[in-house]
Amino acid sequence: MSNISRDSIFLKYCFLFFVAIIPFSALLTTIIDSRINNILLSSSFEEVIIVLLTLLSLIILARRKEYRNKFMKGLGSVFGISLLAFTIYCGLFLLIRGINPVSFVGFVLNVRFVGVVLSGALLGIIYKRQLVNDVSRLVVVCGVISVFLGIVMVLLPPRYLTGLGYDASGIDRPGRPGVQYLVSANLPIKRMQAGFRSPNSLGVYLLIPFALVLFNQVKLLKRNRYLVLSIVALGVMWSFSRGAWIGLLILIGWYVFVNRHLLLSNHKARIVLVLSVVVALLGISAVTLSPVGRSLLLHQTDNQANGSTELRLKSYGSNMRLFVSNPLGRGHGYASPAGRLSNNNSGAYVVTENSYIQYGLEIGVVGLLLFVVFMVATWQQISWFISPNSRQAYWSLLATIATIGLFIPIWTEESVPITWWALVSLSIGLGFASQLKHSKNSTS
């Protein structure tokens, strides 16, 4: 076997492990022992995996001139320049703030997805296109497994959930993560969690397999496709994650928009579409008019102990003022919601679950702008992807992630974005390969 084959196969299985570790660690946490949660679901474990994967990619780049040449050509784009600029900025930010454990953790958290993109881009260059299909299929399988795990946890009596480390009130206690498994203290309805660090994590994670199946990135028989979509949608709804609910609506809306000509040309499809809109409007009306429904929409989150709407709005205002008054960021190095980085006049923590404000508080206006440029350039690079279904799937995920980032810290908290970035980085790698091939054909 050639060295190139060994490199590609080794990286392939590292990447498959990387994508699968989140739901399978949730499986171990649920079935075996909650103490595994402290290792496999900890942010430190994620950073270790990312650092090792990045180092492995750099070693292969250093050893293989042909890979290095292709990769450097790919970095000559807006994507490559923004990637390097963001990484360099975070490195300088670390030096300016002083190298200490807290600032170093912040540096790792801010650039961890850069390492995923680096390794995925390399893997896309040296491995065949089938890899994206393998990884996407694995994500869908893991998503379905996670839903069934969540159902098991919902059916478990409270004493078993307490033994697994979860708490009805969401209060931190020795040996427990303090994750609230109820919708709220006043509403004894369980939220599906499946061993993830929070129900929000599960809900947003399930949006990834939903988009891949909805846009036919993962090929399934028609009957199986509807079954998988129903199972995953059930998990999203049962997580009671408002951000995930919004994301699900965005994905479905995007799909309807993309396929609007097909829907309008088919008589049965038009009837189903109209009935769906009517049912959706009636459902929204019923939820908003019902006290129980309002409680579900405005329930306390596990990281907002004082969660009233008034305090939430004050929290946003307070953090926006901090964001404006600290244009270079504060560099606390936290991956938790932005509100935990600040406090109000009374000394109590205020919470705002917003990715943009959180990133702005962490690395400042400059870092936030570089991050946004990097995101836009990433999706421009994916436009080289050949398959229209793949393009629509990832573009729909972009719109979803960007929108729900207004409500939960999707980029810098939880394990969810790591899997998402793994898929994105593979697409970028294939974009590199397609771009280089296109340039070569044009030259010849």
> What one-character-per-residue DSSP string does 84-116 give?
HHHHHHHHHHHHHH---HHHHHHHHHHHHHHHH
| Residues 377 and 79: beta-carbon distance below 8 Å | yes
pLDDT tops 80 at residue 227: yes
Q: What b-and-e string marks burial along 428-440, b requiring 16 or more CB atoms within 10 Å of the CB? A: bbbbbbbbbeeee
| Residues 288 and 294: beta-carbon distance below 8 Å | yes
* Total number of domains in the chain: 1
- What are residue 295's phi and psi, to 5 degrees? -65, -35
Report the pLDDT value the prediction gives residue 383, as an integer from 0 to 100: 58
Report the pLDDT value the prediction gives residue 200, as an integer from 0 to 100: 76
Domain that holds residue 34: 3-443
Considering only CA atoms, which of 204, 170, 172, 260 is closest in space to residue 401? 204
pLDDT tops 60 at residue 415: no
Distance CA 223, CA 232 (A): 15
What's the whole-number mean pLDDT along residues 352-360? Answer: 70
- What are residue 188's phi and psi, to 5 degrees? -75, 55
- Tally of CA atoms within 13 A in the half-sphere of 421 that contains its CB: 22
Report the pLDDT value the prediction gives residue 350, as an integer from 0 to 100: 46
pLDDT tops 80 at residue 14: no
Rg for the chain, CA atoms, rounded: 22
Among the residue ranges 68-77, 237-246, 272-281, 321-330, the one predicted with the least confidence is 68-77
Q: Which residue has the higher pLDDT, 87 or 163?
A: 87
Nearest-5° Cα angle at 115, 425 to 201: 70
Q: Which two tokens stand for residue 138?
A: 């694995």
Q: What percent of the chain has pLDDT over 70?
A: 41
Q: Which two tokens stand for residue 112?
A: 């961890």
pLDDT digits (tens, 9 = 90+) for 184-206: 656 667 777 776 667 777 888 88
Considering only CA atoms, which of 318, 405, 334, 326 is closest in space to residue 364? 326
> What one-character-per-residue DSSP string does 307-367 give?
--HHHHHHHHHHHHHHHHH-TT-------S-GGGG-B-TTS-B-----HHHHHHHHHHHHH
Give residue for tokens 């098991």: 152
pLDDT digits (tens, 9 = 90+) for 17-59: 666 666 666 555 555 544 444 444 444 555 666 667 777 777 7
| Residues 185 and 399: beta-carbon distance below 8 Å | no
Report the pLDDT value the prediction gives residue 202, as an integer from 0 to 100: 80
